[in-house]
Structure 1
Amino acid sequence: MNKNKLILRIPFISLFCLLLTGLQAQSLRALLEEEKTLVFAHRGAVNPEIPENSMKGMKQALDSGMYMLEIDIMESQDGILYLLHDRTLDRTTFGTGNISDWSSKDLDNLGLKGTEEQLPRFADFLAEAAQNGLFLMLDVKNAPLDKVLNLVEAADMLDRILLLTFSLERAQEAFALNHRFLVSVLVKEEEEFDEYLCKSNDPYQLAVYLNKDADLMLYDRAKKLGLPIITDVMGNIDRQGMDDPTIYREFVQKRNPDIVVSDYPVILKHVLH
């Protein structure tokens, strides 16, 4: 297939992505071993002005040279997965009420604010992400993990995603799946490291999410254990970093995380690299 046909087939692809052939062949775990700080776009948008969890956000990210997106997943009344952060539709769509009260037939015709598109199905977003060589961080708000991962496997994206979990119960649900993929667990206390390591069947596929204001000792412990570290700079750090980029640099130098999630990922990436 020549380049012209490729561009026609993949509407959201950018010249930047065409130059990333070597990168696209890598797994997320392999990238983490290169000891670079990877930057993910919070809710799939390169800034808060762009509609979150949208196809438009994906296109803007690709056009900005961002190929790592954090997205949120919710389930409809009839079990179809959609990109949505809140349990309710009110803030980001032209619908009202809980998404769990809506059928996919109605959701597929529901407009997303700030775009000319409908609320995106997770399966459709995955297909575009796979074609464009993206890496995804999945925050599954309210849906069975096996359903989510079955779609990820069908899109051949298991080695390009990281699943966020924020409780031991959710982490155990992830560990029990037959799929092999990166799982992030939230650690707030030092003893939780051993607890999660014992529960996991494959520590190589384990990553640690540490709060931005967590004790630096937890960051050191994660490094000594060889566990990839995820954190975020949303809120005050992002706002301060917009005016003074050294804030970003100092934050990362103190903690040495492997992944940082930001509302302004293009700016953060530029500062760090």
Structure 2
Amino acid sequence: MSKFNNIFRIVLPGLILLSCNTSKPGNTNTNPKPIEFRIGVESTKEAKEFYSWTSDRIPLVSAHRGGPYPGFPENAIETFQNVIEHTPSIIEFDVALSKDSVLVLMHDNTLERTTNGSGKVIDLAFEEIRKLKLLDNDRKETDFQVPTLEEALIWGKGKVLFTVDIKREVPFEMVVDAIKKYQAEAYAAVITYSVDAAKKVHSLHPELMLSVTIRNEEELKRFEESGIPVEQWIAFTGTSERSPEFNAKLHEMGVFTILGVLGNLDKSAVARGDQIYVDFVKNGADILATDRPIEAAEAIKSLIPEKSSKSKFFGNKVEIR
């Protein structure tokens, strides 16, 4: 049986026992039908509760650019689906803007790397972008198309938590308006890279959760002085591991931490073994933002508490086999 079987033991009363997931990353032909590992947060109040740090918190992975694997390209809804058939996950994705002002999921300013098209995203109308096929990370063409932000928000309700990375040319107002339109405030946090950006998004929607960059005491002080309530922070602590003491200080404030293991730290896990993901969590990382969400989730499953106040947000009763 696959090493990726049923990554979390999450037991909720009254739910039916589901069968094991025997699928592997990139395998679309699964029998029986794969399990969906869902996270259901239904209000901004619940979002604040979910992200409020407690000692019984459930460590999670965040799938960088949606969690691409062979056959599953980045920033595709089919890729999101593949990830949640292996583990509960936060899904991070990127939002760009077409020539005719349609919000689409795309990381790059240009189309060459991730599609069979070419040119700048902003120079093409959505109808032209929609005709393209997405490429996976091995540059193999898939049958998948570029999704819109609206399609992602509709798909994600009751399934995942999103962190939304807004590209430079995209007005914050457009993304926040889409989140409002689809009532996605509970499950769509917005990523910001500066205090000013965080204050701007907060002014547009004071109830939104914000991913904010806090890598040191100076950045922490800036956010403490920002006027943004601490219960709406999710602290991205960078792509290098912070000290346990710094993580503990954020925890004392009730703040979840996200460690970006994508890039060098993921490469270290490949070279040295996935145990390092366990060490990151033990040292105070609550969420691992990774290009290897399935492997990282498998590694940290041993750290999930038998009982947790957060369990009510997870929508499966699953036994690890």
Distance (whole Å) between structure 2 residues aligned to residue 135 and residue 265 of structure 1: 14
Match of 1:45 among 67, 76, 81: 67
Give the deviation of 1:269 after TM superposition.
1.1
Q: Which residue of 2 aligns with 1:103?
A: 125
Match of 1:30 among 14, 36, 49: 49
Give the deviation of 1:187 after TM superposition.
2.2
1:112 partnered with 2:112: no
SS in 2 for 1:158: coil
1:229 partnered with 2:257: yes
Match of 1:247 among 243, 259, 276: 276
Higher relative contact order (CA 8 A, sep 6+): 2
Q: Please, which runs of 5 or more residues in structure 1 have no aligned partner? A: 1-13
Distance (whole Å) between structure 1 residues aligned to residue 148 and residue 174 of structure 2: 13
Structure holding more helix per residue: 1
Amino acid at match of 1:83: L
Distance (whole Å) between structure 1 residues aligned to residue 242 and residue 87 of structure 2: 33
Once the two structures are superposed, the pairs formed by residues 79-90 of structure 1 within 5 Å of their partners are: 79-90=101-112
Q: Tell me the TM-score normalized by structure 2.
A: 0.72
CA shift digits 1:110-132 (9 cap, x unpaired): 222232122111111211112x5
Once the two structures are superposed, the pairs formed by residues 184-203 of structure 1 within 5 Å of their partners are: 184-203=211-230
Distance (whole Å) between structure 1 residues aligned to residue 256 and residue 278 of structure 2: 19
Q: Which residue of 2 aligns with 1:157?
A: 184
May I ask how many residue pairs the two structures share in their alignment? 255
Structure 1 residue runs of 4 or more that deviate by more than 4 Å after TM superposition: none
SS in 1 for 2:239: coil
**Maintained 8 Å contact 1:32/1:258:** no
**Maintained 8 Å contact 1:39/1:268:** yes
Give the deviation of 1:88 after TM superposition.
1.0
Give the deviation of 1:57 after TM superposition.
0.5
Once the two structures are superposed, the pairs formed by residues 134-149 of structure 1 within 5 Å of their partners are: 134-142=160-168, 143-149=170-176
Q: Rate the CA distance shift 1:215–1:85 in 2: closer, same or farther, 3 A.
A: same
Q: Tell me the TM-score normalized by structure 1.
A: 0.84
Q: Rate the CA distance shift 1:55–1:210 in 2: closer, same or farther, 3 A.
A: same
Distance (whole Å) between structure 2 residues aligned to residue 48 and residue 31 of structure 1: 32
Distance (whole Å) between structure 2 residues aligned to residue 62 and residue 248 of structure 1: 19
Q: How big is the alpha-carbon RMSD for the aligned residues of Structure 1 and Structure 2?
A: 2.3
Once the two structures are superposed, the pairs formed by residues 54-69 of structure 1 within 5 Å of their partners are: 54-69=76-91
Distance (whole Å) between structure 1 residues aligned to residue 120 and residue 88 of structure 2: 31
- Matched-pair identity in %: 24
Q: Which residue of 2 aligns with 1:122?
A: 149
Give the deviation of 1:108 after TM superposition.
2.2
Amino acid at match of 1:30: E
Amino acid at match of 1:133: K
CA shift digits 1:147-180 (9 cap, x unpaired): 1122122222211122111122321211211351
Q: Which residue of 1 aligns with 2:292?
A: 264
